Structure 1
Amino acid sequence: MSDDAALSVKHLWKIFGRGADRIVGTPDADLSRAELKEKTGCVVGVRDLSFDVAPGEVFVVMGLSGSGKSTLVRCLTRLIEPTAGEVVIDGRDITKASESELRDLRRTHASMVFQHFGLLPHRQVIDNVAYGLEIRGVGRKERRAKAEEVVQLVGLAGYETSYPDQLSGGMQQRVGLARALANDPSLLLFDEPFSALDPLIRRDMQNEVIRLHHELGKTMVFITHDLAEALKLGDRILIMRDGELVQIGTPDEVVGAPADDYVRDFTSEVPKSHVLTLKWVMREPRDGESGDGPVMTSDTIVRQAARAALASEHPVRVVDDGQLVGIVDDDAILRVVVAEER
């Protein structure tokens, strides 16, 4: 584990079925999902998965239905018991935690936001938001004050006394988000929270997550099957298939250098100029080449650079830490922008 990781997962397995705990470490563990099911009746949900999440990072796990992403996120807090491996949150291996330690983890360190809001229909918004604090034994005055603060934060001011059935789906999800934030967790886990929402509401909620991340800096693990959502939200993206890791990288790495045909197919329709950075289109500077063109860093998105680059008579100079690291010609910009408009 990286010493400064907020979350560290090492060789995590989840196998469903009788005798599952006897498979890891045997030749059967190397069988494909279909072969293992045929031979043993067991099904692999997560296969030997390892990754670290840095403090304050938005880490997105994506894949198609059945890829194991929801099983993974439930293993992180032992809502589903892992078959083997380590899950370390804030320096504690939760696979070795007692029941009381697990309760403490779920109440104070890691909060989940689900697709199905799970709101208490007979309680007003303010009391739904304060519910986790009530379970922890926080006094009424203190928990109401905290709940009111979080209600303001997620844009629900004025709805404190409303009941869940009086709210739209997007507003109900804001209540779920507020309830998760009220406990002030170090880690927020999202399991496809917006997949049931209408497209416009979904976009608003994605923007809300981005805003809250900028304001609060929480570490977030976000599960989705939607690549556009993953690219919009993620600092890094882990792509799963059949319980296994296919690729892990930044959005521009996933789009610019797909690990295999599976990822390439996933990303084929992505407007690359909105994701790729100048490091993907720049060339090596030639001897004595400095010029008078615009100066940009290598992590500038191509679409953002296009207007200034095409308006200048000189190529863009890509400068990182005071060093000229690349040159971007108009042709390099146009190849990306024009290709996606065909």
Structure 2
Amino acid sequence: MPDTPAPADTAVTLECRNVWKLFGPEAQGFLAGQTAAPGLEAIRAAGLVGAVQDVSLAVREGECFVIMGLSGSGKSTLVRCMSRLIEPTAGEILFNGENLLAARPDRMIEIRRHRMGMVFQHFALLPHLTVLGNVAFPLEVRGVARAEREARAREVVDLVGLAGREGFFPRELSGGQQQRVGIARSLAGDPELWFLDEPFSALDPLIRREMQDEFLRLQAILKKTIVFITHDFDEAIRLADRIAIMKDGRVVQIGTPEDLVMNPASDYVAEFTRNVVRAKVLKARSLMAPLDAETLPEGTADVAASATVAEIAPLLSEGAERLRVLDGSGAPVGLIRREAVVDVMMRG
């Protein structure tokens, strides 16, 4: 299961080590009696369902880590195991080094209330509460004083673009606005770790695109550590720093969107990514030549190393022959020639 190496100084917020979730009688006993990780056929022969099988992964601080797969692949079960909304059958789940599977129930309640935020596909807003009341509700459960919780709720309502609608009830809002309320509610407690389980899949395509834009805007401001579940690869490559693809309860590959598209580890991953437009995935850093290869004319346009070919192409259509590539600190690190971009665009 190839993964993209992390920078040496990158902290890990959440780590799964050999996590299993088997549904059925005597699942723990079955696993304990195995000398090696059982395969799917052995699990089925024992009358069990292998929802999550031997999953190991690490979510880095400040990244958006997307878990994706088809329906029944185990992605939603895995994210519920991460927060212990479902009890894993075996393994370890470490949150900032603390093993959540060893935590007492009251400790888990404290962690979920104060350090985790969750958004699900179904908005689950309380119909008798206003926008402000829904957003402030998690803080009310914590026992936060009314003035303080409403002040915080107003901050996040404004953050998600719903200022002026604090007194509206859920029935008076559109689907996209209701999901914004759900997002605001999950952010009210300023969580360190943010779980989003297919939060936009029930929305119409145009509203879904709008909510993806909103998500990217919020992440640029908040820089949360995020675990995001989706079955839509276009959504995944737009939002993710890294992606884990699941099949039959197992993680089959982890990597950046570019890694998965250009270097699929299996036929399954290759099929998953087959129709992806490469220009939306390939980054400037992948196409650039050394900066000292030639002198660039004055006025040469700059592009970020993280910019996609699709984002770069309009600059070249305006007549530029070369672009200077800048790293995250704004330092020049390379150049891109028009022909390299044209080649990618022509090959799709």
TM over 0.5: yes
CA distance in 1, matches of 2:320, 2:219: 39
Partner residue of 2:22 out of 15, 30, 33: 15
Kindly provide the CA deviation profile for residues 299-333 of structure 1, in whole angstroms up to 9, marking residues without a partner as x: 442233335557778666768797977x7554432
Question: What amino acid is the match of 1:333?
Answer: V
Matches within 5 A, 1:174-185: 174-185=180-191
Aligned match of 1:333: 341
Describe the SS at the equivalent of 2:126.
coil
Q: Give the drift of 1:91.
A: 3.0
Q: Does 1:32 align with 2:39?
A: yes
Q: Give the drift of 1:42.
A: 0.4
Q: Give the direction of change, closer, same or farther, for the CA distance of 1:328–1:153 in structure 2 (3 Å limit).
A: closer
Partner residue of 1:111 out of 105, 108, 117: 117
Q: Does 1:4 align with 2:32?
A: no
Q: Give the direction of change, closer, same or farther, for the CA distance of 1:257–1:132 in structure 2 (3 Å limit).
A: same
Describe the SS at the equivalent of 1:119.
coil
CA distance in 2, matches of 1:152, 1:333: 40
Aligned match of 2:48: 42
Structure 2, gaps ≥5 residues long: 1-8
- Is residue 282–residue 328 contact of structure 1 (8 Å, CA) maintained in 2? yes
- Is residue 58–residue 235 contact of structure 1 (8 Å, CA) maintained in 2? yes
Q: Give the drift of 1:50.
A: 1.2
Structure 1, gaps ≥5 residues long: none
Aligned match of 1:171: 177
CA distance in 1, matches of 2:276, 2:124: 34
Partner residue of 1:95 out of 87, 90, 101: 101
- Is residue 117–residue 176 contact of structure 1 (8 Å, CA) maintained in 2? yes
Q: Does 1:290 align with 2:294?
A: yes
Q: Percent identity?
A: 47
CA distance in 1, matches of 2:318, 2:166: 51
Question: What amino acid is the match of 2:80?
Answer: R
Q: Give the drift of 1:26.
A: 4.4
CA distance in 2, matches of 1:304, 1:79: 40
TM-score by length of 2: 0.88
Kindly provide the CA deviation profile for residues 266-321 of structure 1, in whole angstroms up to 9, marking residues without a partner as x: 11111111210244445789xx9435476766544223333555777866676879
Partner residue of 2:211 out of 205, 212, 226: 205
Describe the SS at the equivalent of 1:88.
strand
Describe the SS at the equivalent of 1:105.
helix
Q: Give the drift of 1:155.
A: 1.2
Q: Does 1:134 align with 2:140?
A: yes
Kindly provide the CA deviation profile for residues 38-83 of structure 1, in whole angstroms up to 9, marking residues without a partner as x: x111011111111111111111111110111000110011110011
Describe the SS at the equivalent of 1:170.
helix
Q: Give the direction of change, closer, same or farther, for the CA distance of 1:329–1:79 in structure 2 (3 Å limit).
A: same
Aligned match of 2:72: 66
TM-score by length of 1: 0.89
Q: Does 1:266 align with 2:272?
A: yes
Aligned match of 1:234: 240
Q: Give the drift of 1:27.
A: 4.2
Q: Does 1:217 align with 2:228?
A: no
Describe the SS at the equivalent of 1:24.
helix
CA distance in 2, matches of 1:3, 1:215: 19
- Is residue 113–residue 176 contact of structure 1 (8 Å, CA) maintained in 2? yes
- Is residue 292–residue 314 contact of structure 1 (8 Å, CA) maintained in 2? no
